[in-house]
Amino acid sequence: MSIDTYVIVPTYNEADNLDELLEQLLALPTSIGAIVVDDNSADGTGDLADRWAERYPGRVYVIHRPSKMGLGTAYIAGFKKALYEIGAERILTMDADFSHNPRYIPDMLAMSQSKHVVIGSRYVSGGGTRNCTRKRIILSLGANFIARALLGLKARDATAGFRLYRREVLLSIPLDEIFSSGYSFLVEMLFLCQRRGWQIGEVPIIFEDRRKGQTKISRQEIFKAQYTIFRLFLRRLRGGEPRRPTISVSPVISNDKSQL
Ligand SMILES: Nc1nc2c(ncn2[C@@H]2O[C@H](COP(=O)(O)OP(=O)(O)OP(=O)(O)O)[C@@H](O)[C@H]2O)c(=O)[nH]1
Ligand SMILES: [Mg+2]
Protein backbone atom coordinates (compact mmCIF):
# COMPACT_ATOMS: atom_id res chain seq x y z
CA MET A 1 0.00 0.00 0.00
CA SER A 2 1.60 3.28 -0.99
CA ILE A 3 0.66 6.31 1.06
CA ASP A 4 0.82 9.77 -0.47
CA THR A 5 -0.85 11.82 2.28
CA TYR A 6 0.91 12.66 5.55
CA VAL A 7 -0.27 14.66 8.55
CA ILE A 8 2.31 16.72 10.40
CA VAL A 9 1.59 16.84 14.13
CA PRO A 10 3.83 19.20 16.11
CA THR A 11 3.96 18.19 19.75
CA TYR A 12 5.16 19.73 22.94
CA ASN A 13 4.00 17.82 26.04
CA GLU A 14 1.09 16.04 24.40
CA ALA A 15 1.54 12.59 25.97
CA ASP A 16 -2.10 12.61 27.11
CA ASN A 17 -3.31 13.06 23.55
CA LEU A 18 -0.84 11.46 21.16
CA ASP A 19 -1.81 7.77 21.39
CA GLU A 20 -5.50 8.42 20.83
CA LEU A 21 -4.78 10.86 18.03
CA LEU A 22 -2.52 8.48 16.11
CA GLU A 23 -5.02 5.68 16.63
CA GLN A 24 -7.77 7.78 15.09
CA LEU A 25 -5.59 9.02 12.23
CA LEU A 26 -4.51 5.52 11.24
CA ALA A 27 -8.10 4.26 11.49
CA LEU A 28 -9.46 6.75 8.95
CA PRO A 29 -11.04 5.20 5.85
CA THR A 30 -8.31 6.85 3.75
CA SER A 31 -4.79 5.57 4.31
CA ILE A 32 -2.68 8.39 5.62
CA GLY A 33 0.61 8.59 7.46
CA ALA A 34 1.83 10.88 10.22
CA ILE A 35 4.97 12.84 10.97
CA VAL A 36 5.25 13.80 14.64
CA VAL A 37 7.61 16.71 15.29
CA ASP A 38 8.48 16.64 18.97
CA ASP A 39 10.54 19.26 20.75
CA ASN A 40 12.04 17.08 23.48
CA SER A 41 8.82 17.08 25.52
CA ALA A 42 9.47 16.41 29.20
CA ASP A 43 6.36 14.22 29.46
CA GLY A 44 7.65 11.46 27.18
CA THR A 45 5.64 12.38 24.05
CA GLY A 46 8.72 11.73 21.91
CA ASP A 47 9.11 8.18 23.28
CA LEU A 48 5.45 7.42 22.65
CA ALA A 49 5.85 8.64 19.07
CA ASP A 50 8.94 6.44 18.63
CA ARG A 51 6.90 3.38 19.60
CA TRP A 52 4.33 4.20 16.91
CA ALA A 53 7.10 4.69 14.35
CA GLU A 54 8.58 1.29 15.22
CA ARG A 55 5.18 -0.35 14.89
CA TYR A 56 4.28 1.39 11.62
CA PRO A 57 7.47 1.86 9.61
CA GLY A 58 6.87 4.02 6.52
CA ARG A 59 3.62 5.22 7.97
CA VAL A 60 4.56 7.00 11.19
CA TYR A 61 7.73 9.07 11.39
CA VAL A 62 9.16 11.12 14.23
CA ILE A 63 11.39 14.16 14.08
CA HIS A 64 13.09 14.87 17.39
CA ARG A 65 14.33 18.38 18.01
CA PRO A 66 16.50 19.27 20.99
CA SER A 67 14.25 21.90 22.61
CA LYS A 68 11.08 23.93 22.15
CA MET A 69 11.78 25.78 18.92
CA GLY A 70 8.31 26.99 17.93
CA LEU A 71 5.36 25.82 15.91
CA GLY A 72 6.41 27.38 12.61
CA THR A 73 9.83 25.76 12.48
CA ALA A 74 8.24 22.45 13.52
CA TYR A 75 5.94 22.62 10.48
CA ILE A 76 8.89 23.43 8.22
CA ALA A 77 10.88 20.44 9.51
CA GLY A 78 7.81 18.27 8.83
CA PHE A 79 7.26 19.77 5.35
CA LYS A 80 10.85 19.04 4.33
CA LYS A 81 10.63 15.44 5.44
CA ALA A 82 7.27 14.95 3.70
CA LEU A 83 8.45 16.58 0.46
CA TYR A 84 12.01 15.41 0.07
CA GLU A 85 12.34 12.17 2.06
CA ILE A 86 8.87 10.68 1.73
CA GLY A 87 7.65 12.26 -1.51
CA ALA A 88 4.15 13.03 -0.20
CA GLU A 89 1.56 14.52 -2.58
CA ARG A 90 -0.68 16.01 0.09
CA ILE A 91 0.57 17.35 3.39
CA LEU A 92 -1.74 18.22 6.27
CA THR A 93 -1.04 20.01 9.51
CA MET A 94 -3.04 19.64 12.71
CA ASP A 95 -2.74 20.17 16.46
CA ALA A 96 -2.29 17.18 18.73
CA ASP A 97 -4.90 18.24 21.28
CA PHE A 98 -8.11 17.25 19.42
CA SER A 99 -9.04 20.85 18.67
CA HIS A 100 -8.77 19.58 15.12
CA ASN A 101 -10.77 16.39 14.88
CA PRO A 102 -9.42 13.78 12.43
CA ARG A 103 -12.97 13.07 11.25
CA TYR A 104 -12.79 16.14 9.00
CA ILE A 105 -9.78 14.88 7.06
CA PRO A 106 -11.80 12.96 4.42
CA ASP A 107 -13.72 16.17 3.56
CA MET A 108 -10.44 18.07 3.29
CA LEU A 109 -8.98 15.41 1.00
CA ALA A 110 -12.07 15.52 -1.18
CA MET A 111 -11.80 19.30 -1.53
CA SER A 112 -8.10 19.02 -2.40
CA GLN A 113 -9.17 17.62 -5.77
CA SER A 114 -10.32 21.10 -6.74
CA LYS A 115 -8.28 23.37 -4.43
CA HIS A 116 -4.55 23.65 -3.82
CA VAL A 117 -4.86 24.57 -0.15
CA VAL A 118 -7.72 23.45 2.09
CA ILE A 119 -8.39 25.00 5.49
CA GLY A 120 -10.37 23.27 8.24
CA SER A 121 -12.36 26.40 9.00
CA ARG A 122 -14.34 27.67 11.96
CA TYR A 123 -15.73 30.64 10.11
CA VAL A 124 -17.58 29.23 7.12
CA SER A 125 -21.17 28.06 7.18
CA GLY A 126 -21.42 24.86 9.24
CA GLY A 127 -18.20 25.58 11.15
CA GLY A 128 -17.81 26.86 14.70
CA THR A 129 -16.19 26.44 18.08
CA ARG A 130 -17.13 24.34 21.09
CA ASN A 131 -16.17 24.76 24.74
CA CYS A 132 -13.83 27.66 23.98
CA THR A 133 -13.42 30.42 26.53
CA ARG A 134 -14.60 33.89 25.58
CA LYS A 135 -11.01 35.12 25.74
CA ARG A 136 -9.90 32.50 23.24
CA ILE A 137 -12.77 33.28 20.84
CA ILE A 138 -12.05 37.02 20.97
CA LEU A 139 -8.33 36.39 20.39
CA SER A 140 -9.06 34.24 17.35
CA LEU A 141 -11.68 36.55 15.84
CA GLY A 142 -9.45 39.59 16.43
CA ALA A 143 -6.38 37.95 14.87
CA ASN A 144 -8.46 36.88 11.88
CA PHE A 145 -9.99 40.28 11.42
CA ILE A 146 -6.60 42.00 11.52
CA ALA A 147 -4.95 39.46 9.21
CA ARG A 148 -7.75 39.74 6.68
CA ALA A 149 -8.05 43.52 6.84
CA LEU A 150 -4.34 44.37 6.74
CA LEU A 151 -3.08 41.58 4.52
CA GLY A 152 -6.08 41.17 2.23
CA LEU A 153 -6.36 37.48 3.03
CA LYS A 154 -9.54 36.10 1.54
CA ALA A 155 -9.93 32.95 3.66
CA ARG A 156 -12.47 33.31 6.46
CA ASP A 157 -10.25 31.39 8.90
CA ALA A 158 -6.78 32.72 8.22
CA THR A 159 -5.24 31.62 11.52
CA ALA A 160 -6.33 27.98 11.48
CA GLY A 161 -3.65 25.34 11.94
CA PHE A 162 -5.76 22.59 10.38
CA ARG A 163 -4.72 22.69 6.75
CA LEU A 164 -3.95 20.65 3.70
CA TYR A 165 -1.37 21.76 1.13
CA ARG A 166 -0.78 20.03 -2.15
CA ARG A 167 2.84 19.22 -2.88
CA GLU A 168 3.22 21.85 -5.61
CA VAL A 169 2.14 24.58 -3.19
CA LEU A 170 4.86 23.81 -0.67
CA LEU A 171 7.45 23.45 -3.42
CA SER A 172 6.60 26.96 -4.64
CA ILE A 173 7.32 28.57 -1.27
CA PRO A 174 10.87 29.34 -0.10
CA LEU A 175 10.47 27.64 3.26
CA ASP A 176 13.86 28.80 4.51
CA GLU A 177 12.91 32.45 4.01
CA ILE A 178 9.82 32.37 6.24
CA PHE A 179 10.58 34.61 9.19
CA SER A 180 7.88 33.57 11.69
CA SER A 181 8.99 30.79 13.97
CA GLY A 182 5.83 30.49 16.06
CA TYR A 183 2.06 30.68 15.66
CA SER A 184 2.10 33.56 13.17
CA PHE A 185 3.72 31.16 10.72
CA LEU A 186 0.18 30.17 9.75
CA VAL A 187 -0.73 33.68 8.65
CA GLU A 188 2.56 34.09 6.80
CA MET A 189 2.06 30.78 4.94
CA LEU A 190 -1.44 31.73 3.86
CA PHE A 191 -0.21 35.15 2.72
CA LEU A 192 2.46 33.47 0.58
CA CYS A 193 -0.02 30.93 -0.84
CA GLN A 194 -2.54 33.60 -1.79
CA ARG A 195 0.12 35.87 -3.33
CA ARG A 196 1.22 32.98 -5.50
CA GLY A 197 -2.29 32.50 -6.85
CA TRP A 198 -2.96 29.08 -5.36
CA GLN A 199 -6.64 28.30 -4.95
CA ILE A 200 -7.71 28.14 -1.32
CA GLY A 201 -10.83 26.32 -0.11
CA GLU A 202 -12.39 25.94 3.33
CA VAL A 203 -14.13 22.92 4.86
CA PRO A 204 -16.31 23.67 7.91
CA ILE A 205 -15.08 22.22 11.19
CA ILE A 206 -16.14 22.50 14.80
CA PHE A 207 -13.02 23.55 16.70
CA GLU A 208 -13.04 22.18 20.24
CA ASP A 209 -10.98 23.52 23.08
CA ARG A 210 -8.12 21.21 24.03
CA ARG A 211 -9.29 18.22 26.05
CA LYS A 212 -6.09 17.39 27.89
CA GLY A 213 -2.70 18.96 28.52
CA GLN A 214 -1.75 22.60 28.69
CA THR A 215 -1.74 25.51 26.30
CA LYS A 216 1.56 26.60 24.78
CA ILE A 217 0.41 29.96 23.54
CA SER A 218 1.99 32.78 25.51
CA ARG A 219 1.75 36.54 25.63
CA GLN A 220 5.10 36.65 23.87
CA GLU A 221 3.65 34.59 20.99
CA ILE A 222 0.80 37.08 20.65
CA PHE A 223 3.27 39.99 20.40
CA LYS A 224 5.31 38.07 17.87
CA ALA A 225 2.17 37.45 15.80
CA GLN A 226 1.34 41.17 15.79
CA TYR A 227 4.87 41.91 14.59
CA THR A 228 4.55 39.33 11.81
CA ILE A 229 1.32 40.85 10.56
CA PHE A 230 2.90 44.31 10.59
CA ARG A 231 5.91 43.08 8.59
CA LEU A 232 3.69 41.31 6.07
CA PHE A 233 1.52 44.42 5.78
CA LEU A 234 4.59 46.47 4.80
CA ARG A 235 5.52 43.77 2.33
CA ARG A 236 2.03 43.92 0.86
CA LEU A 237 2.33 47.71 0.46
CA ARG A 238 5.67 47.27 -1.29
CA GLY A 239 4.10 44.58 -3.49
CA GLY A 240 7.37 42.65 -3.45
CA GLU A 241 5.83 39.19 -3.58
CA PRO A 242 5.61 37.43 -6.93
CA ARG A 243 2.03 37.87 -8.00
CA ARG A 244 0.93 35.24 -10.43
CA PRO A 245 -2.45 34.83 -12.08
CA THR A 246 -4.75 32.42 -10.29
CA ILE A 247 -3.55 28.93 -11.03
CA SER A 248 -6.06 26.37 -12.25
CA VAL A 249 -6.16 23.05 -10.48
CA SER A 250 -5.00 19.85 -12.08
CA PRO A 251 -6.23 16.92 -10.01
CA VAL A 252 -3.73 15.02 -7.89
CA ILE A 253 -2.94 11.71 -9.55
CA SER A 254 -3.44 9.28 -6.72
CA ASN A 255 -2.19 5.72 -6.75
CA ASP A 256 -5.38 4.68 -5.09
CA LYS A 257 -8.29 6.78 -6.23
CA SER A 258 -10.77 4.68 -4.27
CA GLN A 259 -9.32 6.26 -1.15
CA LEU A 260 -10.69 9.64 -2.08
N1 LIG B 1 7.09 20.79 18.19
C2 LIG B 1 6.45 21.83 18.74
N3 LIG B 1 5.10 21.79 18.91
C4 LIG B 1 4.49 22.85 19.47
C5 LIG B 1 5.18 24.01 19.90
N6 LIG B 1 4.27 24.90 20.40
C7 LIG B 1 3.06 24.30 20.29
N8 LIG B 1 3.19 23.07 19.74
C9 LIG B 1 2.13 22.12 19.39
O10 LIG B 1 1.33 22.80 18.45
C11 LIG B 1 -0.05 22.47 18.64
C12 LIG B 1 -0.83 23.75 18.95
O13 LIG B 1 -0.45 24.23 20.23
P14 LIG B 1 -1.54 24.58 21.37
O15 LIG B 1 -0.88 24.72 22.69
O16 LIG B 1 -2.67 23.60 21.30
O17 LIG B 1 -1.97 26.00 20.91
P18 LIG B 1 -3.39 26.58 20.96
O19 LIG B 1 -4.33 25.64 20.27
O20 LIG B 1 -3.29 27.96 20.46
O21 LIG B 1 -3.67 26.60 22.53
P22 LIG B 1 -4.73 25.76 23.41
O23 LIG B 1 -5.75 26.73 23.80
O24 LIG B 1 -3.99 25.23 24.58
O25 LIG B 1 -5.19 24.62 22.60
C26 LIG B 1 -0.09 21.44 19.74
O27 LIG B 1 -0.04 20.14 19.15
C28 LIG B 1 1.21 21.72 20.51
O29 LIG B 1 1.70 20.59 21.21
C30 LIG B 1 6.61 24.03 19.72
O31 LIG B 1 7.30 24.97 20.06
N32 LIG B 1 7.17 22.93 19.14
MG1 LIG C 1 -4.69 23.79 20.95
- pLDDT confidence bin for 136, thresholds 50/70/90: confident
**Ordered domains of the chain (ranges, CATH):** 5-242 (3.90.550.10)
* Ligand 2 center to 216 CA (angstroms): 8
Give 232-247 pLDDT, tens digit per residue.
989 888 876 555 556 6
- pLDDT confidence bin for 201, thresholds 50/70/90: very high
In 3D space, the residue among 126, 97, 112 whose CA is nearest the CA of residue 32 turns out to be 112
Ligand 1 is surrounded, with C-beta below 6 A, by: 10-12, 14, 37-39, 68-71, 74, 95-97, 99, 136, 210, 215-217
Give the amino acid at 68: K
Cβ < 5 A residues, ion ligand 2: 95, 97, 99, 210
Do 111 and 201 meet the contact criterion of CB atoms below 8 Å apart? yes
Question: What is the number of the ligand 1 atom nearest to the C-alpha of 68?
Answer: 31
Residue 66: count of CB within 10 angstroms of its CB = 7
Give 94-116 pLDDT, tens digit per residue.
999 999 999 999 999 999 999 99
CA–CA distance, 99 with 96 (Å, rounded to integer): 8
pLDDT at 253 over 90: no
Among 83-92, 137-146, 249-258, where is mean pLDDT lowest?
249-258
Q: Give the torsion sign (CA, 110, 114, 118, 120).
A: negative
Q: Give the torsion sign (CA, 185, 186, 191, 192).
A: positive
